[in-house]
Amino acid sequence: MSASHNHPAPAPLGGPLWTPTTKILAALVAIAGVILLVRFIFGLGAVTNINDGYTWGIWVVYDVVIGSAFACGGYSVALLVYIFNKGEYHPMVRPALLASLFGYTLAGAGVIFDLGRYWNFWHIFWPGYAQPNSVMFEVAVCISAYIVVMWIEFSPAFLEKLGMKDVKKKLNKLLFFIIALGTLLPSMHQSSLGSLLVVFGYQVHPLWQSILLPLFYLMTALTIGFAVVIFEACLSSSGFKRPLEMHLLGKLSKVMLGMLAAYLVVRFGDLLVRGALLSMFVPGIEALMFWVETALFVAPLVLLWKEQSRRQPARLFIAASSLMLAGFILRINSFLVGYETGPGWHYFPSVSEIMVSIGMIALEVLGYIVLVRYLPIMSGNSESAAVAANK
């Protein structure tokens, strides 16, 4: 256990702010901002295609449900490092936390602009209004609490920058509790994002409707969390020209595969027990998308089965991407493809709707780049820091 902290301390990357990349990202964010302005002036219908048959479109399903799942890197890594005491993954904590922080904060923002009567948002927390039987109540309270916890969890990074060492020390004393909360809360709300679907009953296709939905969503959130860490490590390495920590990622992928295998057992076991297995052979869009989803979940197992494969970064990256896409498709399938309130309804996001989601992603990436350059997040070494500074 003693060797766990022999990694270089995190440091700001430095480097220029305005690069072609950041300029494009900023433009996408600006476009999204304009569209949101129209949304607030004229209403949701002016910029989205949501309707009463598909009242939750991609702003809910992508920005909130999927976006928060993709933001589970911090959750998964914190679980590994602080609960399972795998200190060797410690250098991944801060970057993962940052990505999580952004992901969740933007998911929260995404909720606000999807809400029709957003000015009443505080009702969810207010006794007298709050309705605890509602799954959404629990999701909202939990996510809000988690965002606060994550900001606190992340505060050492900017406390350091601000040079407030005393505050940082005091905070460190309570960090264990913050971390415990930061592990409990996502377990609750990531599973509850799946629970949201239970009340829809027959409206969700048998291939996705199950009392075990919370378990599926929790397990996939964890798995995606690991995948996201791998994915973002690859991206960061490539983007900032930094070495890729293969030994860590290789080991991480084993954990990820274990969780993935467990998930697949539970998922297909549930389909079998409920007698819904045969639905996947009934021709139609639902069966097709189910096969796509399943293929994407199984692919990483195939790709990374051998020890040797886990040492190939390209394979790791593809497997991680496949898993993220699988989680994405699972949520798209449960909320949209497999959801039917009645015949005759059609939905596909409008151009402006898509541009807002793209803008949100752009904001996340832009924010990540900016913060990583200014705050001590990435685990630096002097050579790479110099390289990054000259970029």
Partner 1 sequence: MDENTIENDESLVALEKRLGMSRRSFLQLITAMAATMGLPNDAVAAMAKAVATKKRPSVIWLHFQECTGCTESLLRAEHPTLEKLILDIISLDYHETLFAAAGHQAEAARRAAMKANKGKYILVVEGAIPTKDNGIYCKIGGQTAIEMLKECAADAAAVIAIGSCASWGGMPATPPNPTGAKSAGEVLGKVIPNIPGCPPNPYNFLSTVVHFLTFGKLPDVDDIGRPKFAYSRLIHENCERRPHFDASRFAMEFGDAGHKQGWCLYKLGCKGPETYANCPAILFGDVGNASWPVGTGHPCIGCTEKGIAFTKPIHALADLKTMRPPVGFPRVVEEQGVGATIGAAVLTAAVAGAAFGAGAQMAKNLGKNVPLDEGKPEERKPS
Partner 2 sequence: MSISRRDFLKGALAGGAMLATAAPAEARENLTMPDEALGLLYDSTLCIGCKACVAACKDVNDMPPEFSSESQLWDTPLDISGKTLNVIKVYQDGNSATKDSEKDGFAYMKVSCLHCVDPSCVSACPVSAMTKDPVTGIVGYDKDACIGCRYCVAACPFGVPRFQYDTPLPQISKCQLCKHRIGEGKYAACAEVCPTGATLYGKVKTLKAEAKRRVALKPGEETSFPRGNLDTHDQSPHTAKAAKYLPQVYGEKEVGGTQMLKLSAVPFEKLGMPTLPERSYAATSETMQHTLYGNALALPLAFLGVLTYVAKRNVKHHDDADDSKE
What residues numbered 262-321 form the site for partner 1, per CB under 8 A?
Answer: 311-314, 316-318, 321
Strand partners, 292: none
Handedness of CA 51, 341, 322, 229 (dihedral sign): positive
- Give the shortest CB-309-to-partner 1 separation in angstroms: 12
For partner 2, which is the closer residue by CB, 243 or 342? 342
Task: Answer yes or no whether residue 304 interacts with partner 2 by CB under 8 A.
Answer: no
From the list partner 1, partner 2, none, which binds 88 (C-beta under 5 to 8 Å, kind-based)?
partner 1
- Contact between 20 and partner 1 by CB under 8 A: the answer reads no
Asked if 149 interacts with partner 2 (CB under 8 A), we say no
Binding segment for partner 2 among 199-207, 278-286, 305-313, 364-372 (CB under 8 A)?
A: 199-207
Stretch that binds partner 2, among 208-216, 223-231, 309-317, 356-364 (CB under 8 A): 208-216
Residue indicated by tokens 């949101």:
36
Stretch that binds partner 2, among 66-74, 191-199, 243-251, 278-286 (CB under 8 A): 191-199
Q: For partner 2, give the closer residue by CB, 187 or 309.
A: 187
d(CA 60, CA 68): 11
Q: Which strand (E) or helix (H) includes residue 40?
A: helix 20-42
Q: Which of residues 341-380 bind partner 1 (CB under 8 A)?
A: 342-351, 353-355, 358
How far apart, in Å, are the Cα atoms of 359 and each of 30, 59, 224?
A: 8, 11, 22
Residue 42 binds partner 2, judged by CB under 8 A? yes
Which string of DSSP letters, residue by residue, matches 147-180? Answer: HHHHHHHHHHHHHHHTT-HHHHHHHHHHHHHHHH
Determine if 244 is a binding residue for partner 1 (CB under 8 A).
Answer: yes
* Interaction residues for partner 1, span 62-121 (CB under 8 A): 88
Smallest distance, partner 1 to C-beta of residue 207, A: 22
Given candidates 99, 196, 337, 355, which one binds partner 2 under the rule CB under 8 A?
196
Q: Quick check: 352 and 47 in contact, CB under 8 A? A: yes
Residue 204: φ, ψ to 5°: -100, 130
* Site for partner 2 contains 85 (CB under 8 A): yes
Q: Which is nearer to partner 1, 275 or 342 (CB)?
A: 342
DSSP character string of 281-336: GS-SHHHHHHHHHHHHHHHHHHHT-STTGGG-HHHHHHHHHHHHHHHHHHHHIIII
Separation between Cα atoms, residue 22 and residue 16, nearest integer Å = 10
Neighbouring CB atoms inside 10 A of 327's CB total 26
Q: List interacting residues with partner 1 (CB under 8 A).
A: 3-4, 6-9, 49, 51-54, 88, 234-235, 237-238, 241-247, 311-314, 316-318, 321, 342-351, 353-355, 358, 381
